Homo-oligomer: A and B are copies of this chain.
Amino acid sequence: MRWLRFSLPGQDILRYGLLDDEDRITEIQGAPWETYAKTASRHALADVKTEVPLIPRTFYAAGLNYVKHIREYAAQTGKEINVPAQADIGYRAVNALIADGEDVIIPVGATQVEYEGELVVVIGKRARHVSKEEALQCVFGYTIGNDVSERVWQASDRTFWRCKNSDTFKPMGPWIDTEFDLSGAETVVSVNDAVTTRFDTGDMLFDIPTFISRMSQNLTLYPGDVIWMGTDGHSPHLRDGDRVRVEITGLGALQNRFVRA
């Protein structure tokens, strides 16, 4: 099933709906991971505005989780290659979230803005002290994220507050897919319709059950939390007007234009 969060033109109300194979939406009442009911309202995908699929309670991010990306970032910055020894989760901030189709605003002073196409895990059940074997039972579904980063600020600042969390730096969507199959999935990123990065989505240093199980030893995961799983490869520096598309096999595509402030 594909869950879309959307609004209707001229209305502020956010709604959830189920999207079918013919791009028709059946509006529902309630949240997908709680009790919900189908309503009689139907819409065509083309007639609605796609919204961020959820505002996470906690916005987790694996960060460095694909070996090639770690090597390429080290080469680019002249820093040591620093492959994480254990699955230590990081954080991003909700102020930065935007929906599929919305513009990433390149802030004043930003000079090296790059994409990072990522698989996003959406938690559907409360989880604490779960084993790797049990971990996927608390996953509701999957979506796509673009962990936009400004590399000069990433190197200069003490935290990721503006290099990773400037407003509009976290496109997420377009929907949550509950049947996504990671095996054989590929992440393909294009800039202005030319493929610039592609990698095996599942080729992670620490896989999803490893992260969830380890996190749950010290913290409670809640429905509506998200975990961004990291990226592989390398991005060109993005320029005013660039259109970036992150596609993951079977999951869909997240598209955003980059525009100078």
Interface residues of A (CB under 8 A from B): 55, 57-58, 63-64, 84-86, 88-91, 93-96, 107, 128, 157-159, 161-162, 165-167, 215, 217-222
Given known A-B contacts A166-B219, A220-B95, A159 and B90 have beta carbons under 8 A apart: yes
Contact, CB under 8 Å: B93 / A58? yes
Minimum C-beta distance from A126 to chain B (A): 11
Contact, CB under 8 Å: A162 / B90? no
In the bound complex, residues from chain B placing their C-beta under 8 Å from that of A162 are: 88, 218-219
Contact, CB under 8 Å: A86 / B157? yes
Given known A-B contacts A90-B159, A157-B88, A159-B88, A167 and B95 have beta carbons under 8 A apart: no
Minimum C-beta distance from A55 to chain B (A): 8
Taken together as a complex, chains A and B put the C-alpha atoms of A166 and B63 apart, in Å, by 19
Contact, CB under 8 Å: B161 / A88? yes
A to B CB contacts below 8 Å, 17 in the list = A58-B93, A58-B94, A63-B158, A85-B158, A88-B157, A88-B158, A90-B161, A91-B91, A91-B93, A91-B161, A95-B220, A96-B219, A162-B218, A162-B219, A167-B218, A167-B219, A167-B220
Taken together as a complex, chains A and B put the C-alpha atoms of A222 and B222 apart, in Å, by 22
In the bound complex, residues from chain B placing their C-beta under 8 Å from that of A89 are: 159, 161
In the bound complex, residues from chain B placing their C-beta under 8 Å from that of A84 are: 158
In the bound complex, residues from chain B placing their C-beta under 8 Å from that of A166 are: 218-219
In the bound complex, residues from chain B placing their C-beta under 8 Å from that of A159 are: 63, 88-91
Taken together as a complex, chains A and B put the C-alpha atoms of A107 and B218 apart, in Å, by 7
Q: Which 9 A-B pairs have the closest CB atoms?
A: A88-B158, A162-B218, A166-B218, A90-B159, A88-B159, A88-B157, A89-B161, A95-B219, A91-B91
In the bound complex, residues from chain B placing their C-beta under 8 Å from that of A219 are: 93, 95-96, 161-162, 165-167
Taken together as a complex, chains A and B put the C-alpha atoms of A221 and B90 apart, in Å, by 21
Shortest Cβ distance from A222 into B: residue = B95
Minimum C-beta distance from A130 to chain B (A): 14
In the bound complex, residues from chain B placing their C-beta under 8 Å from that of A128 are: 167
Taken together as a complex, chains A and B put the C-alpha atoms of A215 and B107 apart, in Å, by 13
Contact, CB under 8 Å: A94 / B157? no
Taken together as a complex, chains A and B put the C-alpha atoms of A221 and B96 apart, in Å, by 11
Chain B CB count within 10 A is highest, among A55, A57, A157, A161, for A161
In the bound complex, residues from chain B placing their C-beta under 8 Å from that of A157 are: 86, 88
